[in-house]
Amino acid sequence: MSGQRLGGAAGRELRPESAAHIRNSAITAFRRADLGPETPSEHILLANNHVERSGEAAIMVNRSHFVVVDGNHTRDSVSSGIGAWSSSDVTVSHNEVVNARDDEVAGHEESVSIASTERFDVFANEIYLDGNVGFLATRAST
């Protein structure tokens, strides 16, 4: 990946040479499911991961900047399949989200959730659901 630039939200670029990478992981049935940074971070690549039966959102980006979430597969998450909250310059692309919480008793969650996030691109994702929300952008996201 050296020397290669990855496209980011609003024409910004992720610098791969300085990016934190989480790639090619398989994670199944765990209590706390957030695959993503828990503290404010920059230049993050979450790519080609498989997250199944997570106890929270399968992939969550929170308070982070210049993030690419690409080519991931999530299934049967308790909360959103992919979330980006209070962040900026986030790209969510080429992911597959299957059955983000779709429960008659517990309720429903959106498959891809963008909240309080500035400059984001969401494209070329595949969402499989039954009566649930596919995409949600809220709280002054731009």
Whether the predicted pLDDT of 122 surpasses 70: yes
Whole-angstrom distance, CA of residue 44 vs CA of residue 25: 15
Tokens of 86: 């209070």
- Tell me, what's the pLDDT at 76? 86
- Domain of residue 80, residue span: 6-138
Mean pLDDT, rounded, for 9-28: 56
In a domain, 43, yes or no: yes
- Encode pLDDT of 31-88 as tens digits: 444 455 555 678 888 888 888 888 788 898 888 899 999 999 998 888 889 999 999 9
Q: Say how many CA atoms lie within 13 Å of 70 toward its Cβ.
A: 14
Mean pLDDT, rounded, for 8-33: 53
Strands (E) across 4-125 are located at 6-7, 13-14, 20-23, 26-30, 41-47, 50-54, 59-62, 64-70, 73-75, 82-85, 88-93, 96-98, 102-103, 107-108, 112-115, 118-123
Whether the predicted pLDDT of 98 surpasses 70: yes
Interacting residues of 105 by C-beta distance below 8 A, sequence separation 6+:
none
- In this prediction, what percent of the chain has a pLDDT beyond 90? 29
Whole-angstrom distance, CA of residue 67 vs CA of residue 31: 24
In a domain, 1, yes or no: no
In a domain, 117, yes or no: yes
In a domain, 130, yes or no: yes
- Tell me, what's the pLDDT at 18? 53
Number of domains in the chain: 1
In a domain, 101, yes or no: yes
In a domain, 89, yes or no: yes
Q: Which residue has the higher pLDDT, 95 or 64?
A: 95
- Encode pLDDT of 35-46 as tens digits: 555 556 788 888
